Structure 1
């Protein structure tokens, strides 16, 4: 009995320490109870470990213990970060943002030089291009919510050093992602069987690309939260090399070469995801092993982020759906791939690389400043703090706006300057003047420049745990994108669907900016709520 008492006492002391790591001075017993529940404690576990009735009884005991430990500490200014430290940290943030977009740039470069990438090919028939495009879009839309949920909940545990819990919750969402993928395959098979939208040979290709690309996106998210983005870039390069080898040295055609390579990348990506988590778990400090909260609670907490992931990718692709489904004189299927339209969008995506890097830098700097501000400002100075960060935000808008416009101009000018060189290399221009590709490229560059501002706002609001405000902004943007693109593509020509993306980006950027200004007016409240 003495040993059991001593064991409970040790466990209790460690638990008090862990609660105080979360919040050195909890507001009351109820905040302690909430902290305990977030750490995986429930009534059953409390009874088993401490012989108490419920979480609230344990919270009362911890509250009393903390009150006995309370000491008065002098106000300390935040630590000063020297110039070298800030340069290193901000450089890391910039590279992190750029590296995240690097696979996209590599895929475009591969198409320009090799005529193929991991899941595209310049000389594909329109039927096969349609299959790959539908499979790709489905993979992003279906898995988009799960990638956001993994990023949100995975970071939540990894930031606290709970790598084991991070791995468990991440792979729970990955399993749900695969289940959703399989259910989607069954549903679209049934739909296609009833309405005969596509012939069976096309449908098989749609499902194969959809399933394997879904697996790739799920593994990429794990690498992102574990800060292994370069690994995914390496996998994309390796996959492209494998496609080249299979095409050049085996009897396989491009489709089977790509499917084998995508399967290889998806399997290796998932194996590496498990391996990297295992390595990360070795860093975890041993102590009280928290339990995951019930899955229903976890799903409820990440649902706004899940919804955003779905809406965001639907927003990115709805203009394509409008353009490809606009009927002309020859439409063998409900959706018919338009290569000229897609090419303009792909080139324009390059304009997002620099803004993504800049956004990482200025948002990282903002979060550091907000952390310091909570130590630098007294409670009576909240209005002064809020005004300060509103001024900082205006500067951020100017920086991201300038970077986006500059990036768009560089890509625009660079692409047209490269035309002559590409004619020498490939015998034809990248973009012909007065074509659909040039038109879509110009409008989509403008769209992505504006979208960069909206994405910066979204990241800040997510950092303050205000996902609902982001969703309130993106829903009208999605509706506008869908309606404007649909109407213009039917009234005029299919490529006018790109104006849906432009209008939607303007609305998304405007509404998130309004939400940001509202938050910054009461920043002290939102910082308290986020903590």
Structure 2
């Protein structure tokens, strides 16, 4: 075999491994991985150095048609997957999108089960349609506080446990999950006692009201905390099982044994928590057995210090999501109970319908981040300072295709939600009345707000992939201020339902700020990738 044949064979080998290279150094690294040395290039390939050989192959490949420079993985995907043109920048693989969008919806199955239970039984694991207005206020406030105080722990545990799990540090993962579950439960008890103390000093609500509120706060926060390990352990399907079983138990206790709704709820939530803990123990038992050897245990303080931005992001995200409700409820001073805030049915119905939009867009986020991570892995050898701009531009194009998909999905979902609300077989058939004007108005503005919130959260997830979190935390803090100020002023100057525009404007600000940070993130993507790995 002469030098020309060797060169052609080597060029084909490089194409099979890297496809179209992002830069010269990608080819250079591939040649080194083949075991080719600088001193071999003159005799075997007719080039004075490895650098010259790499340059020749690189120039040859970039001049070839795109269809001729697909690597082995890309050729396999092309033969097994269909393509859907999206825009002039990129193509989205149908199979890839269907897989991850479906996966995102599957992870929401526990929520869909609750919706199903509410529609057909007027009852779910923590809600009941026959609550009076005071009971609804106590329970929904408890649910809100439960999400807020657990959100930080869920983010922190998920982030650090995922890191340990991916690096096969299973004993560390187990210790982290167990220790932070215990710490979280203790903190939830402190939070509940603090709520009692504040109410004792300010006399906002009667004592029975506070027992209900704090009971739901503690139980739901603990439930969310015990669900959190399933995400880093990649066992999210277990959530569907535990929530379904617990819902059935609570429903049987309430409907079959005529147990009081509070008691049946608490027993159902306790069952779900127990199932979650049992599943977590079983998964670790299967993975590492009854290993009782002493391992280096991660310090809770050190873990918190390394992840505190994620903790506060998780907590503040729920503050943002629920703030408009609190503002709307507290704007209605005509109630006869003289509470500082009171559940507003029509507003809540509107926001419940609006959040269907958020659920519909979850799958887009799953798909977008999966493809972004895959592209990063495929192009990691192109991370050189000389290629940084081209590398960042490549992912900007990918990002634009993801945003287009998000808006297409949002438009389709809007049509479906509108049909569900307005057709006789939909909302009217179940509840026996048309949707109130206030609810319709709130649902439209709220749905638009959730579209922008989903967009902003997608921006954040891109940056989270490479451990860039502080810009997103600042953007969220600013969005909360906008949400509060605009919602408060509008609801006090006009009507209570206008607080939804605080949420909408806050979501738009959040999207704009995170987009700005993401643009800078893409401009320095090579640096962020190197820093993360």
TM range (shorter): 0.7 to 0.9
Equivalences for residues 372-521 of structure 1 within 5 A: 372-376=378-382, 380-417=386-423, 419-426=424-431, 428-429=432-433, 431-434=434-437, 436-521=438-523
For the residues of structure 1 that align with 2:235 and 2:295, how far apart are their CA atoms? 26
Equivalent residue number for residue 280 of structure 1: 287
For the residues of structure 1 that align with 2:221 and 2:160, how far apart are their CA atoms? 19
Cα offset for 1:95? 3.0
Equivalent residue number for residue 371 of structure 2: 365
For the residues of structure 1 that align with 2:526 and 2:182, how far apart are their CA atoms? 39
Equivalent residue number for residue 303 of structure 1: 308
- Contact 1:99–1:229 (CA<8 Å) still a contact in 2? no
Equivalent residue number for residue 141 of structure 2: 134
- Contact 1:352–1:407 (CA<8 Å) still a contact in 2? no
- Contact 2:472–2:514 (CA<8 Å) still a contact in 1? yes
For the residues of structure 2 that align with 1:311 and 1:424, how far apart are their CA atoms? 37
For the residues of structure 1 that align with 2:96 and 2:166, how far apart are their CA atoms? 17
Equivalences for residues 59-138 of structure 1 within 5 A: 73=35, 80-81=73-74, 82-83=76-77, 84=80, 91-138=98-145
SS at match of 2:334: coil
Distance 1:71 1:437, change over 3 A: closer
- Contact 1:354–1:403 (CA<8 Å) still a contact in 2? yes
For the residues of structure 2 that align with 1:355 and 1:327, how far apart are their CA atoms? 32
- Contact 2:365–2:458 (CA<8 Å) still a contact in 1? yes
Cα offset for 1:73? 4.5
Deviation sequence 1:190-239 (CA, Å, 0-9, x none):
11222222111111111111111111101111122222222222322223
Structure 2 residue 347 is matched with structure 1 residue 345: no
- Contact 1:404–1:452 (CA<8 Å) still a contact in 2? no
For the residues of structure 2 that align with 1:493 and 1:149, how far apart are their CA atoms? 38
Q: TM-score, normalised by structure 1?
A: 0.80
* Residue segments in structure 2 that go unaligned for 5+ positions in a row: 1-31, 37-53, 59-69, 82-92
Distance 1:395 1:186, change over 3 A: same
Structure 2 residue 351 is matched with structure 1 residue 356: no
* Residue segments in structure 1 that go unaligned for 5+ positions in a row: 1-69
- Contact 2:428–2:435 (CA<8 Å) still a contact in 1? no
Moved more, 135-144 or 235-244: 235-244
Equivalent residue number for residue 333 of structure 2: 328
- Contact 1:157–1:165 (CA<8 Å) still a contact in 2? yes
For the residues of structure 1 that align with 2:436 and 2:328, how far apart are their CA atoms? 20
Equivalences for residues 11-50 of structure 1 within 5 A: none
Equivalent residue number for residue 312 of structure 1: 317
Distance 1:425 1:88, change over 3 A: closer
Equivalent residue number for residue 40 of structure 1: none
Deviation sequence 1:489-519 (CA, Å, 0-9, x none):
1111111111111011111111111111111
For the residues of structure 2 that align with 1:244 and 1:295, how far apart are their CA atoms? 38
For the residues of structure 1 that align with 2:290 and 2:413, how far apart are their CA atoms? 39
Equivalences for residues 151-170 of structure 1 within 5 A: 151-170=158-177
For the residues of structure 1 that align with 2:287 and 2:356, how far apart are their CA atoms? 33
- Contact 1:150–1:222 (CA<8 Å) still a contact in 2? yes
